[in-house]
Amino acid sequence: CHGSGASGGPGFPNLNDDDWLWGGDLDAIQATIAHGIRFDGDTDTHASEMPPFTDVLDPLQTRQVAAYVWGLTNTPSDPGLAQAGKQLFLDNCAACHGDDAKGKAEMGAPDLADAIWLKARGEDAIMRQVAAPKHGVMPAWAGRLGDTTVKELTIFVHSLGGGT
């Protein structure tokens, strides 16, 4: 899933950076490996899902939010759209992603201001994610691998990205 070099792939996170959805300290990484993400077979799995915003934002507002988010690390297609999108972001997205768009690990909400993109790259892709979010699933590995191997993997994964 994450590739032989742990650099990820389409829909699978790169483990060589410090972009951790659920926290990058040893305990957080161990919990993610042991219990997975949105994994039905483990009651302790990480669970969060971005809702679709089609009932909240109209298509123009969705484009404005996408321009604002893309503009956090890139040049938006229309700075006017991005400016209008800032308040929409604060009103609708900041509860999970933070006023500064740096994300909230306790919620599994990604940092949108660091130029690391997993599910969407570009304004059109961000619009699609806002309208119909994609949610990944990671299996729980504790039952398959056992505590010792999960701890070993935790230390290895932590070492790849430098941890927090």
Domain extent for 156: 1-49+137-164
Same domain assignment for residues 80 and 37: no
In this structure, what token pair is assigned to residue 58?
A: 């109209």
DSSP string, 34-56: HH-BS-TT-TTSB---PPP-TTT
Question: pLDDT, tens digit, for every residue of 41-100?
Answer: 999 999 999 999 999 999 999 999 999 999 999 999 999 999 999 999 999 999 999 999
Question: pLDDT, tens digit, for every residue of 26-41?
Answer: 999 999 999 999 999 9
Same domain assignment for residues 121 and 54: yes
Using alpha carbons, select from 81, 87, 50 the residue that is nearest to residue 66: 81
Same domain assignment for residues 68 and 121: yes
Question: pLDDT, tens digit, for every residue of 112-162?
Answer: 999 888 777 899 999 999 999 999 899 999 999 999 999 999 999 999 975
In this structure, what token pair is assigned to residue 122?
A: 């570009």
Share in percent of the chain as helix, strand, coil (round to 5): 45, 5, 50
CA distance linking residue 109 with residue 133, whole number of Å: 12
